Structure 1
Amino acid sequence: MKLAFADPRNMTVSPLNMNYGRPDPDIADIAPSIRQRGVLLTMLVQEKTQDGAVVPGHFEIVAGRRRWFAAMAAIAQGVEIDPVPIGILAPGDDAAAIEASLIENLARLPADEVTCWETFAKLIRKGRAPEQIAATFHMTDAVVRRTLALGNLLPRIRGLYRREAIDVATVRSLTLATKSQQKEWLAMLDDPERRAPTGAQLKTWLFGGASIPAKNALFRLDDYPGQIIADLFGDDSYFTDPNLFWTCQNQALAAKREALLADGWNAVEVLETGRSFESWKHERVSKAKGGKVFLAISSRGEVTTHEGWLSAKEARRAEAAAAKAARGEGDGDGPKTDRAEVTSAQQTYIDLHRHAAVRAVLADHAGVALRLLVAHAVAGSALWRVEADPRRAGHEAVSASVEASPAEARFRAKQAGAAALLGVEADGDLVGRKGDGGAAGVFAKLLSLPDADVLAVAAVVMGEALAAGSAEVEAAGLHMKVDMAAFWSPDAAFFELIRDREAVNAMLKEVGGKKVADGNLAEKVKTQKAILRDFLERDERPSQGRALDAALADLPGWRLHQAALRHRRAEQGGRAPAASGQGPRRGRGPGPGRGPGQRSQPGHPRGRMSRRGGRRLAPIPPDLEPRVRRRGVFPMTLGGRWPPRLAARRRGRSGLEGSRSGRRRRRRPGRRRGRSPTLEAG
């Protein structure tokens, strides 16, 4: 091979060149240096032949095609290029020419950073500026400066990198380290019992946690008060203080969320740091149909925005809302996609602690507790279910009689006053009215009332919830000494409902006298009631007959026609059971086995007890008296006395005599023998 110089204008690309026939190459990296210094590297060529003869001064390029294109481009721009150095290959050896072209192209590899740093450092010492170096080698100023920054590394680290003992990622991370950190890292590298971090782990070690690139910041870097270190080999810089970064990043994230909401998105959900957005669990939903925006934040501070998504459940709910809106059934509020702010367990925790605190203080405020009690009775709650007595009459005459009674009119007036205090309409019972706010709304209203008004409302509510025919009615009537005569007198409905012949005849005897009663003893019940009503309407009763009203007035909790019968039997006598154990008959005349001086006494509504002669009733034991009155075994007219037969049974239970199994059985005449209704003491 001979060395020489040749004019580029007299050269062409040889067909033996490995890049022959391809498009013009990119010469942007070598064009500046060739314009300034020309082609300095030798180009491999062969002499050009034509018709078997060599053409003097003309050559074909085997290797150096890009340099020739760069030289021709400089000549085209008017730059004078010196003859280029060439190496003339021996003619006829085409294989050697192909190998030379391949070797030359394979050898054209970029130099490592350390070699570049050494070369650039020499140029700097000769007086060249980094800008001039960048222009000569077609590099950016940042690349030149980052390469020159390798001088900040300790010589040993540069030597390790040149020998490829450490990789590129490690040496680039070490450019971020201080001199003391570099020495500490070398100490870990030399220690066989310790492992020196490399690559990405080295960045984590240098920054004391995850390395956060500056490009991930949502805020302006000019406004960041902390320090930022540049990666001298890459394009990123990093925050030295992660805590300060997250403070600024969260503020910018909140501003971004507000901007998205102002842009019309239904909701913006910020995911937990490090949690990725699971798109396979969500569906695409547009902004107009209630789609949400999800902001995913990586541990390195990178924020990814996912617009127009809903979970599968929320998407179905949104579709249902859209379908309703299309049918005109929607409420116009759009789909509800907000989830609960607290979990169910946390809500239970909060509720129980608030409940404990409120009831602890409520125990010291009786007035507030009273108002809260009345509010619960009126409107109810999850634990309260108070109902007003339905007052079902089952008979039109009974209903009309009760509605026309003075007691009902008086209570309705009280009810209307209580409704006015609560600010509701007086159109029925107060109990069961939910109203606005339920029990809490009623409680708020009661807090504004004085104690006297609250007690008035409480009295009406209790009156509405008092069960008709209950032992509570009787107990309250006894305590308050209710005068029934002031609220009731026998009316047409009372007489219409009497069906017992003996009771009607007893009342007729009270009103018209014994002669009238005995004279109509065999008449029909209807006839005797008509005679009784005539006496009452004309008020032609003897003075002793007026005791009937008083006797009936003392029994507010019992059926009045039974009360009249009990009164008559207690005061004037009745039939006793026969010695054979047969019960009294309801027919005409005395029952079998009845002797003179035997009178029937009042008893349980399901049966009648009797006593012989004029023997007094035994006292009711104090331990059973509340139970007896609660179950309604005896009317108030007994005055706390115990019938002798049940007194004996009571003694038998105490071990003296008798037993529950020894009760006497009775059966009516004409019926099959069997067990008939009996009385129980409790």
Structure 2
Amino acid sequence: MELKHIDIACLSVSPANMRGVKKAPDLTNILPSVRARGVLVPLIVRQNGSPTTYEIVAGKRRYHAALIVAQEEGSVEPLPCAIMEAGDDAAALEASLIENIARLDPDEVTRWETFTRLVKEGRSPEDISLTFGLTALQVKRTLALGNLLPRIRNLYRNDSIDAVTVRHLTLASKPRQREWLALLDDEEARPPMGHYVKAWLLGGSAIATNKALFDPAGYTGGIVADLFGDHSYFADADLFWQMQEAAIADKVEALRDAGWQDVAVMARGEAFHAWEHERCPKAKGGRVYVTKGHGGDVSFHEGYVTLKEARRLEQGGNVEKAVRPELSAPLASYVDLHRHAAVRAKVGTAPAIALRLMVAHAIAGSSLWRVDVAAQRGASDAITESVENCASEADFDKERRIALDLLGLNPDTPTVTGHAYDRELVPLYLRLLDLDDAMVLGILSIVMGETLEAGSALVELLGVQLEVNMASCWQADDALLELVRDREVMGHILADVAGKEVATGNGSATAKVQRQIVRDCFAGTNGREKRDGWVPRWMAFPPSSYTQRRGVGSVERWEAVAPLIEPQDEGEPEEGAADATDASDEQVIASEDEPVQQAA
């Protein structure tokens, strides 16, 4: 059995669920608890053919209650789940988990006290999760209550504040928690609750001047004060953080000069979890942890080591002495930015290098680059299969394999781009340097093809510019015909494929009968003349429609880009010719309302 949190969108009820799939569950006695505390007892799930999707064998009511909460609040956190392994008995697993949960204190604050004691005895969150049938994330969330002031914990214990409020307050520094309590005590103010706590903690662009470690007199960005002068704020958050970071760096240097062998500055917004550390004096290797809140507050947690280091000290070992870096963070930033500016100026005059850099970034990505592969998934499996097996995909795959070979990659890889997790940018760029421009442009063509958005106006423009002939690379299949459910449109297609005489003779026939006649024409069966090279109007370049009802995406996109192309030559056919054809077809379809004997 594996315990993990799974996004609710990846879950569905299994047909094997003992409560069934179709019958709506009674949530009367469970919904209030899920609203207040979330889902505590893990759902029993198993994979259903995909590595990321699961079906619920036990826990249907908890799942539906979570769905209602998600609709009410706009979102819901991933649900705790126990993933069944081969040979697992769902009923026994469910009973075991419920028994384990029953051993826990219902009061989460008391549970925190228990977990904290176990951690001090050497138990890891993973050990605790297995003992009580919880996920490691549930255990860590409970342990995070240790970041709260005692009064806030008591408010939570007494149900004076909800779980969402508490969860966000665990991210706040002690000064910010005191500010929140002050708002709670103020009869004329109202403290943020629930998800609003997070927005309050982030602070937006308004950062109070009392958060500054530097002298505000040196700040040149402007300060905004309220009418009474009780509160003032920095108007320029970016400038504030530049000066605040410099002040933090000075404070870090002062701490090191005072004998602290290591000062760890944490990322902005990252919380310091006391339960993951133990007190340790400076003389024995204790370090200082510096936390920075989004609201500008900075906290210094002096004299701590990690639990792992604490165990090592108990066994007579030592904490590894940190080596002071040669460059401070501000100095390193100065060096990096000036070197970046110099290199960027050179890249701007080296188009061949820039081309290879761009191709490498498009394939491998970076912290500033994200390129997504166009999803070739249709609204149904039949559509997806039709696209996968078409001649155009086969031609593109042939060129893709050539590109993969040039890059030294596995030719069976489904795409050239979209695999940043296992491709390094620098080696890829160096590989491209060994290829001539024609090869690099060939690879770029594949990357562009893979990342060209389907259903976009650009596809319409490119189809005309490249003179794409759909008849030479596509032929009608059942997937298309089965999707045509509109009788009027089916009549137009019948006229297109079998001729107006046949369409008129079968005007009163059902769409199913007309569809079969079209199939016979494509196959040349049942006495029908074989028809090759037919393309429906919506799929041609440029596209057009069969009716005046609109609602054809390709036509609407073409109408948007057509004015951007140069006007047609005088020798080309006028638009009226196509309109005349449409009018003729409309007359054929209009005859459907009259009683006509079905033609043989």
TM-score relative to the length of structure 1: 0.36
- Name the structure, 1 or 2, with higher relative contact order (CA <8 Å, separation 6+): 2
Bigger Rg over Cα: 1
TM-score in terms of structure 2 length: 0.41
